């Protein structure tokens, strides 16, 4: 599977198309989780506040250990929308800008399959 970092636009298109091909509900509203991380709590906190000011829901930061033993902090920015490539691409562009501005990592996004009713 393609990684976000390799091709952000291709990643988004690929994920949406895979969900559609698998039969995910096209009429549903999806919870999109945009993933941020950093080793610097202050920068991460500023990015979270900025996302909140853009009217997104923001989760509390959690601490994780990477495979190489480094401690990182991470939080998610939550958005809700239909499974629309252009809308999600616009969110991704906004998240990338936020990450660059606050010098934190944007690790892409995810969502879950929704069974049609």
pLDDT digits (tens, 9 = 90+) for 23-77: 999 999 999 999 999 999 999 999 999 999 999 999 999 999 988 988 999 999 9
Closest CA to 99 of 38, 9, 56: 38
**Prediction pTM value:** 0.90
Q: Is 82 left (phi over 0), alpha (psi -120 to 50) or beta?
A: beta
Is 28 strand, coil or helix?
Answer: coil
Contact 43, 104 (CB under 8 A): yes
């Amino acid at each position: 599977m393609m990684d976000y970092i390799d091709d952000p636009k291709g990643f988004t298109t690929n994920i949406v198309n895979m969900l559609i091909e698998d039969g995910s509900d096209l009429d549903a509203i999806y919870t999109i989780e945009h993933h941020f991380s950093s080793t610097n709590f202050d920068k991460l906190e500023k990015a979270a506040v900025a996302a909140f000011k853009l009217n997104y829901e923001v989760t509390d930061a959690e601490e994780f250990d990477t495979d190489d033993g480094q401690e990182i902090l991470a939080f998610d920015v939550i958005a809700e929308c239909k499974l629309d490539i252009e809308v999600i691409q616009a969110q991704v562009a906004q998240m990338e800008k936020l990450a660059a501005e606050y010098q934190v990592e944007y690790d892409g996004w995810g969502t879950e399959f929704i069974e049609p009713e």
